[in-house]
Amino acid sequence: MFDVSRTRRDFPILSSRVNGKPLVYLDNAATTHKPRVVMDSVARFYKLQNSNVHRGSHTLSNVATTEFENARKIAASFIGSPDPAHVIWTKGATEAANLLAYSLGDLLIKPEDVILVSTMEHHANLVPWQQTALRKGATLIPVPLTDEQTLDISAYESLLKKHRPKIVALTHVSNALGVINPVEQCCHLAKQYHATTVIDGSQAIAHLSVDVKQLGCDFYFFSGHKCYAPGGVGVLWGKEDLLKAMPVWQCGGEMIKHVSFDHTEFNDLPFKFEAGTPPIASVLGLAAALEYLSTLDRQAVQAHESALRRFVVDSLQQYSAIKVYAPFAENVGIVSLSISGLHHQDAAFLLDEHGIAVRTGHHCAMPLMESLSIQGTLRASFALYNTREEAETFVAHIIDLLSSTMASNQPIKPNSDQTIEATLPAISFPDANKLVELDQRLAAEAQQNKLALLLSQADHPSLLPQSYHCDQNRISGCESDVWLVCQKLEVNGQLFFNFAVNSNAKIMQGLSLWVLSFLQGKTASEIQRFDVTEALYSRGLHRFISPSRTNGLHAIVETIKAYTC
Ligand SMILES: Cc1ncc(COP(=O)(O)O)c(C=O)c1O
């Protein structure tokens, strides 16, 4: 029997509060929290065993090496690998996929060959293969999905028959939809056409019992941080004959037996693919996480996660304005949805105000989103520590969001890709003084009121009219659609710039108008000096935007700077 309240006590972070509310963490597909045993094992290593591995001529190093190699045995046994030497430590799933795309790609792929992937791949199991195909003059072909957003098995079989791919790279579970692919059947079919199979287990490993022998795959990989382990470590499992035949990938220490200036003899498996010092503490943490999972009734855990998902899907599907993707497919506990009239980015910010953490966007699966003709979804992903109460809280807030969206006099317009009409309406550029007032209000407002003020800018009187919402005016690099038009004004031989902007996400609408408060009616050199990061921090708005340099607001500012320089 699986006891979720007891399990929760193993995860200290779950008792924290976010924005004054108890944390409801539903972003487990991005990364999972860590149980105390995992943190303890990392701390124990640094407190008592810290040393490098495999090159020790002292006791600590020997202890660390023994623990490290024992961790490999634990990982091997967790996925049913007959031999620990077939388990290679990587930095994570992405590194494993790159290792394979380079090394296995070099071994197997020739010009004119075909590599098969699915339409639902995470970029990590897609872009490396795409680049291999480009390097080798081969072709990458995606397996389409059915109308129910599951892998189209008959199309898969036809593609195998028609193209006889050298490599089939499939995800075990879709990170964007949670759909479980029939990988055992896929590997069996692939073998009939002599394809080598690579399975991305990143979203499966925390939820499903994995046995690589039973799956019949040639390679299987996953990241530790998705299954309650620390970041920076992953597992790549492969079949011995292929691993032995594959050329080395990264070179350096550890992966060699003997080196002279004109020749290197490479090490045996698994060290041949482990150049340099490995992430020792993270490896030990991963072993602790896998042991932790092994103490649980994994079928009961899976049933618990599936029941949470079923409850959410059944509750939300009653609303015609909510679309749940792949509602009926076998699923690990991911709900991917969109709410008509409400941008997923806005929904996530509003949920975050209530301490509910979800993920929105394309989920690193842009081709999947394109095949569904959407920009992104709102994704709630469950883990073993989530409760029915948390699922109920999530549902209640989604229904609240839906009601307020419906009640809003000015629902956010759906995406539109209109071309520019013959006669365009005049643009009313936002008044610079009014924008400065907005900035001053935002600066003065208490933190909890800033979001409401930003969102209220969706009713701003001077938004860029709909007729200008076309590709030509779209800013690339934003998660939401943002359209911008610039106006140059010459006064006494000096150029000044004005801008009008609009977005289909309310939060981005508010933020982009706020950004204009620093730029409207300014000269090129004033605009070039503007530092958006500094401005965000000084007004306490940074929490509404990803701190990365590639967020949408930076894209807007960069576009404006490029235009005016
Ligand atoms: C299915 C899938 N594959 C690969 C990855 C990449 O994992 P990492 O970023 O840990 O390398 C992810 C991460 O979200 C994923 O969900």
CATH code, domain with 505: 3.90.1010.10
**CA neighbor of 4 nearest in space, from 297, 225, 202:** 297
Distance CA 330, CA 150 (A): 9
Would you state the pLDDT for residue 412?
41
Which of 170, 223, 286, 332 has most ligand 1 atoms within 8 Å of its beta carbon, as the pocket-test mutant? 223
Q: How confident is the model at residue 357 (pLDDT cuts 50, 70, 90)?
A: very high
Same domain, 114 and 210: yes
Q: List alpha helices for 35-81, DSSP H.
A: 36-44, 59-78
Same domain, 208 and 196: yes
Q: Is the CB of 122 under 6 A from ligand 1?
A: yes
- Amino acid letter for position 489: L
Would you state the pLDDT for residue 420?
43
In this structure, what DSSP letter does residue 466 have?
Answer: G
- Interval between CA 275 and ligand 1 midpoint (Å): 22
Last residue of a domain, one of 294, 318, 350: 294
Domain presence at residue 170: yes
Contacts of residue 423, defined as CB under 8 A and 6 or more positions apart, other chains included, come to none
pLDDT, tens digit, 9 for 90 and up, residues 144-153: 999 999 999 9
Domain presence at residue 416: no
More confident residue, 423 or 45: 45
- CATH of residue 355: 3.90.1150.10
Q: How confident is the model at residue 413 (pLDDT cuts 50, 70, 90)?
A: very low
Q: Is the CB of 93 under 6 A from ligand 1?
A: yes
Contacts of residue 13, defined as CB under 8 A and 6 or more positions apart, other chains included, come to 23, 25, 33, 34
pLDDT, tens digit, 9 for 90 and up, residues 65-119: 999 999 999 999 999 999 999 999 999 999 999 999 999 999 999 999 999 999 9
Residues listed for the chain: 565
Q: How confident is the model at residue 383 (pLDDT cuts 50, 70, 90)?
A: very high
- CATH of residue 64: 3.40.640.10
Same domain, 290 and 307: no
Domain presence at residue 424: no
Q: What average pLDDT does range 385-401 have in this prediction?
A: 98
What residue owns the CA closest to ligand 1's atom 7? Answer: 93
Would you state the pLDDT for residue 409?
40
Domain presence at residue 415: no
State how many domains the chain has: 3
Q: What average pLDDT does range 315-320 have in this prediction?
A: 96
Q: Is the CB of 223 under 6 A from ligand 1?
A: yes
553 has pLDDT over 50: yes
422 has pLDDT over 60: no
Last residue of a domain, one of 234, 260, 294: 294
Same domain, 377 and 450: no
Domain presence at residue 373: yes
More confident residue, 393 or 447: 393
Tell the burial category of 366 from Cβ atoms under 10 Å away from its Cβ (0-12, 13-18, 19+): middle
Domain that holds residue 98: 38-294
Domain presence at residue 426: no
Pairing of strands 114-118, 139-143: parallel
Are 267 and 208 within 8 A, CB to CB? no
Distance CA 303, CA 312 (A): 14
Max CA separation in the chain (angstroms): 81
370 has pLDDT over 60: yes
Residue 109 backbone phi and psi in degrees, to 5: -90, 125
- DSSP sequence for 199-230: EE-TTTTTTS---HHHHT-SEEEEEGGGGTSP
- Interval between CA 124 and ligand 1 midpoint (Å): 6
Among candidate residues 217, 227, 364, 478, the one labeled active-site is: 364
**CA neighbor of 336 nearest in space, from 326, 350, 328, 346:** 326
Q: Is the CB of 125 under 6 A from ligand 1?
A: yes
Are 468 and 420 within 8 A, CB to CB? yes
Same domain, 324 and 286: no
503 has pLDDT over 60: yes
Q: Is the CB of 94 under 6 A from ligand 1?
A: yes
Same domain, 57 and 13: no
More confident residue, 315 or 421: 315
Are 75 and 286 within 8 A, CB to CB? yes
Q: In the structure encoding, which two tokens stand for residue 318, read together?
A: 């009653």
Ligand 1 atom having least distance to the Cα of 223 = 10
Would you state the pLDDT for residue 417?
43
* CA dist 503 → 429, 463, 512, 541 (Å): 15, 9, 8, 18
* CA dist 493 → 28, 479, 489, 523 (Å): 57, 38, 10, 12
134 has pLDDT over 60: yes
Same domain, 384 and 469: no
Q: How confident is the model at residue 287 (pLDDT cuts 50, 70, 90)?
A: very high
Q: What average pLDDT does range 238-244 have in this prediction?
A: 98
410 has pLDDT over 60: no
Domain presence at residue 230: yes
Contacts of residue 245, defined as CB under 8 A and 6 or more positions apart, other chains included, come to 107
Distance CA 65, CA 252 (A): 19
Q: Is the CB of 359 under 6 A from ligand 1?
A: no
Q: How confident is the model at residue 550 (pLDDT cuts 50, 70, 90)?
A: low
Distance CA 345, CA 252 (A): 44
Strand partners, 142: 117
Ligand 1 atom having least distance to the Cα of 174 = 1
What residue owns the CA closest to ligand 1's atom 14? Answer: 30
Percent of the chain with pLDDT over 70: 97
Distance CA 562, CA 565 (A): 5
Which of 123, 203, 381 has most ligand 1 atoms within 8 Å of its beta carbon, as the pocket-test mutant? 203
What residue owns the CA closest to ligand 1's atom 16? Answer: 175
Same domain, 20 and 88: no
Q: Is the CB of 172 under 6 A from ligand 1?
A: no
Q: What average pLDDT does range 437-451 have in this prediction?
A: 91
Contacts of residue 445, defined as CB under 8 A and 6 or more positions apart, other chains included, come to 453
Would you state the pLDDT for residue 406?
83
Last residue of a domain, one of 390, 407, 424: 407
Domain presence at residue 422: no
- Interval between CA 377 and ligand 1 midpoint (Å): 17
Give the number of other CB atoms < 10 A from CB of residue 554: 19
Same domain, 42 and 22: no
Which H/E stretch holds residue 334? Answer: strand 334-339
Same domain, 105 and 22: no
More confident residue, 413 or 267: 267
547 has pLDDT over 70: no
Would you state the pLDDT for residue 47?
98
- Interval between CA 178 and ligand 1 midpoint (Å): 13
Ligand 1 atom having least distance to the Cα of 95 = 11
Q: Is the CB of 86 under 6 A from ligand 1?
A: no
Does residue 364 have an active-site annotation? yes
More confident residue, 312 or 478: 312
In this structure, what DSSP letter does residue 114 have?
Answer: E
Distance CA 37, CA 8 (A): 13
Same domain, 308 and 287: no
Q: In the structure encoding, which two tokens stand for residue 3, read together?
A: 């006891």
Same domain, 326 and 402: yes
Q: How confident is the model at residue 343 (pLDDT cuts 50, 70, 90)?
A: very high
What are all long-range contacts of 79-85, with beta carbons under 8 Å and residues at least 24 apart? 79/201, 79/205, 79/210, 79/211, 79/212, 79/220, 79/235, 79/237, 80/210, 80/211, 80/212, 80/213, 80/214, 81/212, 81/213, 81/237, 82/213, 83/240, 84/270, 85/240, 85/268, 85/269, 85/270
**pLDDT, mean over the chain:** 94
